[in-house]
Amino acid sequence: MIIKIENLNYIYNPGTPFEKKALNNINLDIARGDFIGLIGHTGSGKSTLVQHLNGLIRPTSGKIIIDGIDITSNEVNLREIRQKVGLVFQYPEYQLFEETVYKDVAFGPKNLGLEEDEIKSRVKKAIELVGLDYDSIKDRSPFELSGGQKRRVAIAGILAMKPEVLVLDEPTAGLDPRGRDEVLGRIQSLYEEEGITIILVSHSMEDIAKLVNKIIVMYEGEIAMEGKTREIFKQAEKLEQMGLGIPQITMFMRQYKKKGNEVRDDIITVEEA
Ligand code: ADP
């Protein structure tokens, strides 16, 4: 298991009038090479959970073990963990700040103290992995790019750290259809070509249906359902009770197939839903 979570609890603002239990006894195993969709209505705890995975939030109680390392222990090297688990926040382009794409993507590897040659090769590879042309984009300002391109540059900055696990929190939020396709397409090829473990947080059932092979459903701070994509989508009634509508998926699948797209074998089809 690349990620193991045991009895994880998290309370915001404990002992104050704003106290809020956001995670309640989470137990989870994620295997290397999994492509997980983490879904659940707003406020169900998805962001709180993923921020635990690279030590951004420390648990109120419980254990998180990443690649055999207990990251909840006091001796842990958080820098090492953040390199292993790359977290792409919502609207990551807001964190672009350098004057060129190259410098932005190089920021993380530079902080790792790597040699210039190694930095350059990582930056080039990361930019190519997100489907951008290195030579024509490296000297441009990130601020003059399209929404989809900006977001891909931000993702490249995380990939340049060579993470073993990539966590993407709502990676297509706010993008136009073209930008969405660009970003999702690159995430899919990253998974297929690089074999990286991916956790995709999304409230878009469409994105989830297109991509992932396992789903975790959160509800009120707990893991309510867990299983293969098609198994989860079959339980329409239960999903609806959690505010996750199957009609959306059915409609999407119809349109998706109408456009002549193939539906992956391990993904649910309309007829089965
Ligand atoms: P999701 O990502 O599924 O929308 P969150 O993890 O953001 O859910 O939120 C889980 C719960 O924790 C919600 O009730 C939310 O209001 C609460 N919460 C999130 N962030 C904070 C915070 N910084 N302070 C207090 N409560 C928070």
Instruction: Give the CB-side neighbour count of residue 23, counting CA atoms within 13 A.
Output: 25
**pLDDT at residue 273, as a whole number:** 38
Q: Which atom of ligand 1 is nearest to the CA of 51?
A: 6
Structure-token match 């309510």, residue found: 224
Tell whether ligand 1 has an atom less than 6 A from the beta carbon of residue 46: yes
Chain centroid to CA 117: how far? Answer: 29
Length of the chain, in residues: 273
Per-residue tokens: 96? 């672009």
CB 16 near ligand 1, within 6 Å: no
Q: Best substitution site from 8, 9, 12 to test ligand 1's pocket, by max atoms within 8 Å of Cβ?
A: 12
Distance of CA 58 to the CA centre of its chain: 19
CA–centroid distance, 47 to ligand 1, in Å, is: 7
Task: Look at residue 272 in the predicted model and tell me its pLDDT.
Answer: 43
ipTM for the predicted complex comes to 0.99
Q: Which residues does 175 contact at the CB level (< 8 Å), separation at least 6?
A: 147, 148, 151, 183
Q: Which atom of ligand 1 is nearest to the CA of 49?
A: 6
Write the Ramachandran bin of 91: left for phi over 0, alpha for psi from -120 to 50, otherwise beta.
Answer: left
Residue nearest ligand 1's atom 5 by CA = 45
Please report where in the chains the tokens 């790792």 appear, as a residue.
112
Task: Among 8, 18, 20, say which to mutate for ligand 1: greatest number of ligand atoms within 8 Å of CB.
Answer: 20
pLDDT-flagged residues of the chain (< 50): 265-273
Structure tokens at 52: 């635990």
Query: Does the CB atom of residue 202 touch ligand 1 within 6 A?
Result: no
Q: pLDDT value at position 232?
A: 85
With a 6 Å cutoff on the Cβ, whether 20 touches ligand 1 is yes
Residue 253 backbone phi and psi in degrees, to 5: -65, -40
User: Mapped to the 3 state alphabet, what secondary structure does 79-117 carry?
Assistant: HHHHHHEEEECCCHHHHCCCCCHHHHHHHHHHHCCCCHH
Atom of ligand 1 nearest to the CA of 218: 3
Cα 103 from chain centroid?
23
Residue nearest to atom 23 of ligand 1 (CA): 12
How much distance in Å is there from the Cα of 90 to the middle of ligand 1?
14
**DSSP-derived pairing of the beta strands 61-66 and 69-70:** antiparallel
Q: What is the residue type of 243?
A: G
* Tens digits of residue pLDDT in 1-55: 999 999 999 999 999 999 999 999 999 999 999 999 999 988 999 999 999 999 9
CATH of 34-57+76-272, one of 3.40.50.880, 3.30.360.10, 3.20.20.60, 3.40.50.300: 3.40.50.300
Distance CA 222, CA 230 (A): 21
Ligand 1 centre from 89 Cα, in Å?
A: 14
For the Cβ of 12 lying below 6 angstroms from any atom of ligand 1, the answer is yes
